[in-house]
Structure formats: C-alpha cells, structure tokens
Amino acid sequence: MDLDWTYRPRRQRRRGCFVWSGLVLLLAVYLYVQRPDWLVRQPPPPATTPTPSALYWQTKAEAHIAAGNFSEAAAALERMAELEPENAYPLVALAGLHLMARRVEQAYALTQKAVRLEGKNVDALAMHARVLDWRGNYDSASDFAFQALELEPDNPDVLAVLGEIYSDVGNYAVALDYLEEALAIDPANVMARRNLGYLYEIQKDHESAIDQYSRAIELAPKRPDLFIELGRQYERLDEWGLAIETYEEAVAAGETAFALDALGWALWNYGDHLQALRILRRAAEMEPQNGLVLAHLGMAYYRRLNYESASETLEQAMQLLDEDEINAQFTLTLGLSHVYKKPQECDRAVPWLNKTLEFAPGLSSALHGLRRCSTG
C-alpha cells in the first residue's frame, strides 16, 4: 500500500498549558495586591550591643577615680566584680575607696576575700596589710606586708605600707627608711608621700606634715581625704580659719560624709554652730549609720538647745561607736541633754553622767547634772 506522504496528523491542543498560565497570572496578581511580609524586603535586624566586659568596667573605674568621681568608680568596680568574681583587682580597688572614706570594716571584708582568691597577689597583700594596720592589728599587718615584700622587694606601695605600720607601732626611724626608699623608687607615689606626712604628724611636727600632705595633694588633687588630713594639721596649730578652708576644699573635691563631718565639726569648734548643724545634717543623711557623724550632730543640736534631738541622736551614736571612740565630751553632752529636756529623764541621764566621771573624775558639769537629778 502506498503511503500518502502529503498527510499530516492533526496536533492535539494542549489545554493544560493555558490553565497553568492562568494560575500563574492569578497568583502574581494576588501577591502584588497582598504583598506578604516574606516577599517585601525587610530591614536588617539591629546589631546586638555587646555586653561590656570586665576590662571595660575596669577602665571606667580608673577614669572615674582620676576624675574624683568615687561613687561612680565604686559602681563600676562592683560591676567588674560581678563579671569576674575570682579576680582580686576590683576588690582591692574598692577597699582603697572605702579606706579613703574611713569605712575600714567594709574595706576589711573586701581585702579578706581578695587574699583568699589570690594569695600571691602583691596588691591584695599590701592592701590587706594596710587595712589590718588601720584596725590596729599590727602583727598581722606586718605579716602580710612582708609577704608582699618578698614577692616584690622594690614595690613602692608595699614599702609605703610598711612605713605606715612602723609609724603606728612607734618605730619612727625604720618607718622613715621605708618611706624614703619608696619615694626614691617612685617620687610621685601618693601613698608614700601621704604616709610621710602621717609620720611627721604623729611626732607632732605639724609644719613638716603640712608640707608632705600638700605635696600629696599636688599629686592627687581630687582626693578629699588628703585635704582632710591637711586640715587636721591646721587644727592642731589652732588655725581654724585655714582648717575650715581646707575642709571646704575637701568637700569640693568629693562630697563624702567624711569630708562633710570634718567641715561641720571644725565649724562647731570655731563657734559657727548654725553652719555646723546644717553641714552635719548633710553628713548624717549620707551615712545615717556613722556613729562619729551622729555624735557630732548631737553635739550641734545641744548647742542650739534642741535637747530632744540631741539626746536622741547621741543615743544612736553611742550604739554605733566603738568603745575607744566614746569620750567624756560625748557622754557628758548626752547626759545633760536628758537632764535639760522636757520632760526630764534622769533615769537615762545618770548612767551617762557617771560614765563621764570615769573619763574625767570630778568634772563639775557632770556633778552639776547629777545634782539637778537628785533634787528633782
């Protein structure tokens, strides 16, 4: 059979192609109208802020200390200690700030922990030795100081601490040797310069002490504690005007309870009882558990004839002060406050007046108070 080469079979129409084209078109229209989130270009997520490292907080603390911002420095060091609880550095630095503000027991707790963490850390050993010295634990202080000295014989801070310890035990010649050696190594060492001033002070050479404390202030002009120690020399020389000016500089350098108390108490002794009361109130607001501040504030209330506030404040002070901080001036004023206030409280006055007579037998003002109570 012959084939018909002219025949072409009819192609079947592909209907599925048109169906798919229609579906794609509909989908495109839908996406254009609805614009789902995954189709729209999204802005990049914000970059995460890295958590500040311990080194960051150390740098911040050191900058704050240099600027005299001691509260901010303490906060930065506490943050550093949280991030690196096994690092002695923030504990030692915090202890130094506490010593500047005369918070010795807080410093002691920190240096105890520091030397437990790093028993061969020279800074920790030296600071712990200094804190122990300030607590009157001279034998333990020297032990830790000599441990530090064995590790670093030429460390000026260690030598300065040893000079302070020997000053406190009355071996002035050895103290001077250590302090001069420290300053020969580092003439700009603030602690050595300050401790040399202290050595002269306890030997009652106040002129030489003024010279050394002034030189320490030149090296560290933001340290309120140095101004306070300088002002104390002017008190000893009965130059109250200069003392008050120096304490005002201390407050300007850093408004601490320690600085305010020094200024307020100097004003009290100078006879400006109104100003003294104002300043001492500010000190007590800053540190309401500071026994010495409260004692001075109670004395100021008494001078203003506010016997109720005087007795209340001095009673609080007596509970907070160490036994060796209590003196006849405080006990007498407390006893007389109870005698003169209305109503009179002789049951509370008599023990304090008798305590005063233990300090100062035969003191006429204490005997007068006792007579007033005995006669009703």
Whether 48 shows a pLDDT value over 50: the answer reads no
pLDDT at 65: 86
pLDDT band for position 7 (cuts 50, 70, 90): very low
Asked whether residue 60 is domain-assigned, the answer is yes
pLDDT band for position 39 (cuts 50, 70, 90): low
CB-count exposure of residue 263 (10 Å: 0-12, 13-18, 19+): buried
pLDDT band for position 1 (cuts 50, 70, 90): very low
Asked whether residue 50 is domain-assigned, the answer is no
Asked whether residue 62 is domain-assigned, the answer is yes
Mean pLDDT of 28-43: 57
pLDDT at 30: 60
What would the pLDDT profile of 124-182 be if each residue is shown by its tens digit?
999 999 999 999 999 999 999 999 999 999 999 999 999 999 999 999 999 999 999 99
pLDDT at 68: 82
Question: 1 or 250: whose pLDDT is higher?
Answer: 250
The long-range contacts involving 168-171, CB below 8 angstroms and separated by at least 24 positions, are 168/133, 168/138, 168/202, 169/138
Mean pLDDT of 221-247: 97
pLDDT at 5: 41
Mean pLDDT of 277-289: 97
Query: CATH no. for residue 103?
Result: 1.25.40.10
pLDDT at 54: 84
Show which of 109, 125, 150 is a domain's final residue: 150
pLDDT at 24: 55
pLDDT at 53: 83
pLDDT band for position 70 (cuts 50, 70, 90): confident
Asked whether residue 235 is domain-assigned, the answer is no
pLDDT at 28: 59
pLDDT band for position 338 (cuts 50, 70, 90): very high
Question: Domain span at residue 128?
Answer: 55-150
Look over the chain and give the mean of its residue pLDDT values, rounded to a whole number. Answer: 90
Asked whether residue 96 is domain-assigned, the answer is yes
Domain count, the chain: 2
Residue 156, SS3 per DSSP: helix
d(CA 49, CA 286): 35
pLDDT at 291: 96
Asked whether residue 239 is domain-assigned, the answer is no
Mean pLDDT of 2-6: 45
Show which of 98, 128, 150 is a domain's final residue: 150
Mean pLDDT of 79-90: 93
257: closest CA among 100, 107, 132? 100
Asked whether residue 324 is domain-assigned, the answer is yes
Asked whether residue 292 is domain-assigned, the answer is yes
What would the pLDDT profile of 17-35 be if each residue is shown by its tens digit?
555 566 656 655 565 556 5
